[in-house]
Amino acid sequence: MSSSSYQGLLASICATGVLVLAAASSPTAAQIVSLPSYNVDINQTSVSGLSAGGYMAVQFDVAFSSTLRGAGIIAGGPFYCAQGSVLTATSTCSCAPFGCFWQSSTNVAQLIAITDRDAGRGRIDATGNLARHKIWLFSGRNDTVVPQRVMDDLSTYYRHYIDAGNISYKNDIAAEHAMPTDFFGNPCATLADPFISNCNYDAAGQLLQWIYGTLHPKNTGQLGGSFINFNQSEFIDQATSHGMAPDGWLYVPATCGNKEGCKLHVVFHGCKQYETYRYSSPSGQTTFGTTYVRNTGYNKWADANNMIVLYPQATASGSNPNGCWDWWGFDDPDYAVKTGRQMTAVKRMIDRIASGYEGLPAPADLQATAVADTTVSLSWSAVAHATGFNVYRDGASATSSPVIATSFTDAGRSPGRTYSYTVKAIDSTGAEGAASSPLNVTTTGTPTILAPTNVKIDAVGAASVTLSWTAPADATGFDVFRAGTSGGPFAKVNPSLVTGTNFTDTGLTGSTTYFYVIKSEGAGGGLSGPSMEVSAKTEAPPTCFTATNFDHVVAGRAHDNFFFRRGQRLEPIAGPRQRVHCHHAEADRPEFLRDRLLPLTLPRSGRAS
């Protein structure tokens, strides 16, 4: 069966699964507004989704990895799993609408190769961004629509790019294909509308805490924020023609509405969960409406943690009868990359929301309230909406965790040293504001200078040794000390302060072992303790002796009494004239004589060599 005929068949049947035909009618009308902007740090954005929404969340996380910080996937699969084929989507990547009749692999290695290819072409962000992402995965043990083998492949796919310690995989709950909650929906083992199940498990809370770390407990009472119905047509032309509803939803906590700094989480619903979908329930025909928006648990956590939740909405069309997100190419061959129509539309929504980002102002009035030999106490003015402060010393963090108060004591400093401090406020998302003006503070007491490190021998000669080292902070120079035995006594050998990080000790005796230590000198003239001791043995010196030319010939160091210079024969030397020669240890070897003496002598043959 061809892909087009198969897709046509899907549009004419009605069965339970990921790609099931659904009737449509309009939900209760709401006031639709233009999507507002908020004080959201775009780098605090994450995504999650169920089923088709899970696939959408994966491709969005991979394609826009430089923007996002993580993803939560319930019953989804690897990036580009369907590879543009509805047949692959419904027989390999899921088991709908007819069920899986064989255990077909998603071919993770091939999908990784496609991911790397797309990244190399700039169609998705560089895969290196994924290394910092936190990924949360859920697969119901009884899921018959996206079985665990597919989610296992997704786990394998992500572990290719992300350390296993950044991936959480929950797969031990006997859940069917649905969004698990701890307060709403069908019994956990049920496969039925609205595909939300009460499994006594808070999937939304678990994934948000995994992605963002420790959060405040969720709001179990009445929500204090607002639901905003916004116009999606601003972000994609002819939205319904491309599988997107004309409107979407946003949950905004009151604090975010008041322009406090907030995070952003994007939730992609599954198939048969779009607004106008109608299904049979015990109370009769039911319009799905905002069931997913209001009853999946995200808003409870968002309300208590300055987090806006964006619920973009898909809808049904002729080639997409179930209102799924495009994860197999029903609308767009570029559905999985940054230029895909639906992908671009959602990214534009994120950009709009985050366009109101202000960040926190710089703390004012940074000052030193007390200074001692080893401590510096600081204070500064409060910043509105700040939840804490990070203190920096010489450009590096001076605090292991944010400071809640507007004061801090920096201990463990060195006497007589100058430090530069700045302070940044942080908001409820953990995002930092602007840095304060720097403050330079000098501790009291006599400066303590550290000894040089990494002392080593760089070169050794018959009469010299060259050393080098790494300078500590605040050293103005160095003294080099030498001894004849390990441990000393040492005597300084440099006549003046060494201002570099290397020194050559000369005038030494050959074949002798010397021991060295280096001391740093501070601005006040104080010396550090000695560095690690290093040693070197000088080379053997040349042996000089006096001999006649005849003695050299007899010794084998020359051949006869004729000299030869650059092709010209000279007259024989008359008499036993003496010459002074420096005899090296190698001088008795024939090859040494050939290289050093023969060019100046006449061989026994009488021919020039």
pLDDT exceeds cutoff 70 at 257: yes
What would the mean pLDDT of 61-87 be, rounded to a whole number? 97
Q: Where is 36: in which H helix or E strand?
A: none
Q: What confidence tens digit (pLDDT) does each residue in 4-50 have? A: 433 443 433 333 333 332 333 334 456 999 999 999 999 999 999 99
Of these residues, 143, 202, 427, 505, which one is catalytic? 143
Q: Is 177 a catalytic residue?
A: yes
User: How far lies 207's CA from each of 271, 408, 540, in Å?
Assistant: 21, 34, 71
> Each residue of 376-399: pLDDT tens digit?
999 999 998 888 999 999 999 999
pLDDT tier for residue 597 given thresholds of 50, 70 and 90: very low
pLDDT surpassing 50 at residue 319: yes
Could you give the CA distance from residue 609 to residue 607 in angstroms, rounded to a whole number?
A: 6
Q: Which of 177, 269, 385, 552 is catalytic?
A: 177
Four-residue CA torsion sign, 44, 77, 96, 295: negative
What's the distance, CA 474 to chain centroid? 33
Give the type of residue at 554.
V
Q: Is the pLDDT of residue 350 over 60?
A: yes
Only one residue has tokens 């826009």, namely 64
Q: Is 455 helix (H, G, I), strand (E, B) or coil?
A: strand
Helices 148-161 + 108-120 axis angle, to 10: 40
**Tens of pLDDT along 272-300?**
999 999 999 888 899 999 999 999 999 99
Instruction: Please report where in the chains the tokens 């995965």 appear, as a residue.
Output: 137
105-158 pLDDT, tens digit each: 899 999 999 999 999 999 999 999 999 999 999 999 999 999 999 999 999 999
| The pLDDT of residue 1 is above 60 | no
| Active-site residue flag, 280 | no
Residue 556 is predicted with a pLDDT of 67
Given 46, 48, 51, 91, which residue is catalytic? Answer: 51
Q: Which two tokens stand for residue 246?
A: 């004309």
pLDDT in tens, 433-445: 999 999 999 999 8
Sorted by where each starts, the structural domains of the chain and their CATH numbers stand as: 3-354 (no CATH), 367-442 (2.60.40.10), 453-537 (2.60.40.10), 543-600 (no CATH)
pLDDT in tens, 391-423: 999 999 999 999 999 999 999 998 888 899 999
Q: Can you tell me whether residue 70 is helix, strand or coil? A: strand
List Cα–Cα distances, 601 to 546, 564, 567, 598, in angstroms: 19, 5, 11, 5
- Residues 246-275: b if buried by 16+ CB within 10 A, e if exposed: ebbbbbbbebbbeebbbbbbbbbbbbbbbb
**Which pLDDT belongs to residue 544?**
62
Average pLDDT in the chain: 87
Tell me what pLDDT residue 210 has. Answer: 98
Average pLDDT for 187-194? 97
**What pLDDT shows up at residue 609?**
34
- Please confirm, yes or no, whether 326 is among the known catalytic residues: no
